[in-house]
Amino acid sequence: LTSGLEAAWSKLKGEEVLTKENIVEPMRDIRRALLEADVSLPVVRRFVQSVSEDAVGTGVVRGVRPDQQLVKVVGDELVKLMGGEVSELVFAKSAPTVILLAGLQGVGKTTVSAKLALYLKKLGKSCMLIAGDVYRPAAIDQLVMLGEQVGVPVYAAGTGIKPAEIARQGLAEAKKNNVDVVIMDTAGRLQIDKAMMDELKDVKQVLNPTEVLLVVDAMTGQEAAALVATFNVEIGITGAILTKLDGDSRGGAALSVKEVSGKPIKLVGRGERMEDLEPFYPDRMAGRVLGMGDVLSFVEKAQEVMREEDAEDLQKKIMSAKFDFNDFLKQTRAVARMGTMARVVGMIPGMGKVTPTQIREAEKSLQIMEAMIEVMTPEEREKPELLAESSERRKRVAQESGKTEQQVSQLVAQLFQMRVRMKNLMGVMEGGGSLPALN
Ligand code: GDP
Ligand code: MG
């Protein structure tokens, strides 16, 4: 998606203002990029039309280049497409709040059930899980185990029982124990079928849930749109949870959910650990789709492992594009310490997204970077320009770190690339930076 969009922006270089004519080509690139990212065709059509109308209407803004203007319009439209604001979970006026999870097999329902319980526990809510996948004993065991792991009770009654009946029993048990939130895991099938829908309808009728959340695998791609629409029509959902966002997905599912169902994505799963569930931020997702990296999420994650003031400092530097090798090193070390490379590397501007299989390679390349930064002088670390300007310095760094000169050049280029991207993201009002040529 990113490279397609970059092609779109580049076609506006040298233009003075966005016109009906000069956005035709870039819009074609945007359309192609969205389709390649697995956004469904009707959604793409509406999106492109809406962006085209808005873009031409923006007129000349002093100090803003047309390509930056189009980035902004596309970004705003993406945010709008995904529902604009963060959509909070709704709680019932009188306890218990009941959350029903639905979705196809293997999308992450059972994992999400436990993650969600932990998430709510952290908000001070008492929770109970109901094991509603009554077809496979293994599925019940899985939920019981995860429940233990997050310290939340699981109501299970084996496999010889109808899901609606276990829902009724579980709910009664929850009421007896004054539980704040009940989360019901259900069985999925490989495909949508009538039996699954009927079963869910029965369960829904018994539970009268506050939230019916459709769990969607981010890798689903094009089919996500039809899937969400069908579940919404058949059982009526209140929102969605997008899982496996840490994987190699192209993001299309995120863009389609709201548009086809009118219901927002409320939470996202970014990994297999129980802590890996977060609210869904449309603006951050838009930033990520635009290839500017997910600076905000990144800063937030960094905050978890860095001292507060360090992180603030980093944020300031990102804003002012003064990010130097010291920050780079601090950041890479923090990332390494987090041990969640797949998730975090995808958020670092300029580094792009990695597939799980590339994680090990990424870790290795971080080690290589560290080795090179470590032998830089304090001055070089603070002023990366010194290295950009002098091949003597790069040679020395290469020699002392045992790397090649080409590796050093790459590292320097990468730092400037990150600056440019951060700057682009931070200010449509600023002129975008440019890469210094190495000599
Ligand atoms: P269910 O059939 O819908 O209940 O799916 P499960 O909860 O059993 O999950 C299926 C597989 O997906 C398991 O191996 C999970 O560990 C994995 N999984 C679930 N959520 C995520 C996620 O956000 N990221 C990653 N990488 N894996 C996930
Ligand atoms: Mg399951």
Kindly indicate the confidence band of residue 342, based on its pLDDT and cuts at 50, 70 and 90.
very low
Tell me the ipTM for this assembly. 0.99
Percent of the chain predicted with pLDDT > 90: 43
> Could you tell me the CA-to-CA distances from 38 to 122, 138, 222, 302, 387 in Å, in that order?
35, 33, 5, 30, 41
Cα–Cα distance measured from residue 279 to residue 424, given in angstroms and rounded to the nearest whole number = 25
CATH of the domain at 16: 1.20.120.140
Site to substitute for ligand 1 among 110, 272, 275, 355, most atoms within 8 A of C-beta: 272
| Same-domain pairing of 137 and 197 | yes
Cα–Cα distance measured from residue 144 to residue 153, given in angstroms and rounded to the nearest whole number = 8
CATH of the domain at 208: 3.40.50.300
Contact 39, 246 (CB under 8 A): no
pLDDT digit string, tens, across residues 376-435: 999 999 999 999 999 999 999 999 999 999 999 989 988 887 777 666 655 433 333 343
Question: Considering the domain boundaries, does residue 366 fall inside one?
Answer: yes
Q: 423 CB under 6 A from ligand 1?
A: no
Cα–Cα distance measured from residue 278 to residue 115, given in angstroms and rounded to the nearest whole number = 10
Alpha helix (H) ranges present in 11-62?
24-36, 41-57
Q: 186 CB under 6 A from ligand 1?
A: no
Structure tokens at 188: 């999925």
Q: ∠271-359-309 over CA atoms, to 5°?
A: 70
- DSSP string for residues in 138-159: HHHHHHHHHHHHHT--EE---S
Cα–Cα distance measured from residue 90 to residue 107, given in angstroms and rounded to the nearest whole number = 23
Q: How far is ligand 2, taken at its centre, from the CA of residue 276, in Å?
A: 17
Site to substitute for ligand 1 among 109, 110, 111, most atoms within 8 A of C-beta: 111
Question: Considering the domain boundaries, does residue 90 fall inside one?
Answer: no
| Same-domain pairing of 381 and 413 | yes
Alpha-carbon torsion (413, 416, 420, 422), positive or negative: positive
pLDDT of residue 187: 92
Residue nearest to atom 27 of ligand 1 (CA): 272
Q: How far is ligand 2, taken at its centre, from the CA of residue 132, in Å?
A: 9
Three-state DSSP class for residue 212: strand
Ligand sitting nearest the alpha carbon of 102: 1
| Same-domain pairing of 223 and 180 | yes
* pTM for the model: 0.69
With b meaning 16 or more CB within 10 Å and e meaning fewer, what string describes 46-56?
Answer: ebbeebbebbb
| Same-domain pairing of 164 and 200 | yes
| Same-domain pairing of 319 and 333 | yes
Over 50: is that where the pLDDT of 66 sits? yes
Q: Which domain holds residue 385?
A: 295-426
Q: 115 CB under 6 A from ligand 1?
A: no
Contact 421, 414 (CB under 8 A): no
Percent of the chain predicted with pLDDT > 70: 77
Q: Which atom of ligand 1 is nearest to the CA of 185?
A: 4
pLDDT digit string, tens, across residues 44-59: 898 899 888 888 876 6
Contact 295, 318 (CB under 8 A): yes
Kindly indicate the confidence band of residue 109, based on its pLDDT and cuts at 50, 70 and 90.
very high
pLDDT of residue 310: 59
| Same-domain pairing of 206 and 247 | yes
Three-state DSSP class for residue 192: coil
Q: Which atom of ligand 1 is nearest to the CA of 269?
A: 23
Q: 108 CB under 6 A from ligand 1?
A: yes
pLDDT digit string, tens, across residues 301-331: 544 555 555 556 666 666 665 778 887 777 6
Question: Considering the domain boundaries, does residue 439 fall inside one?
Answer: no
Kindly indicate the confidence band of residue 348, based on its pLDDT and cuts at 50, 70 and 90.
very low
| Total domains in the fold of the chain | 3
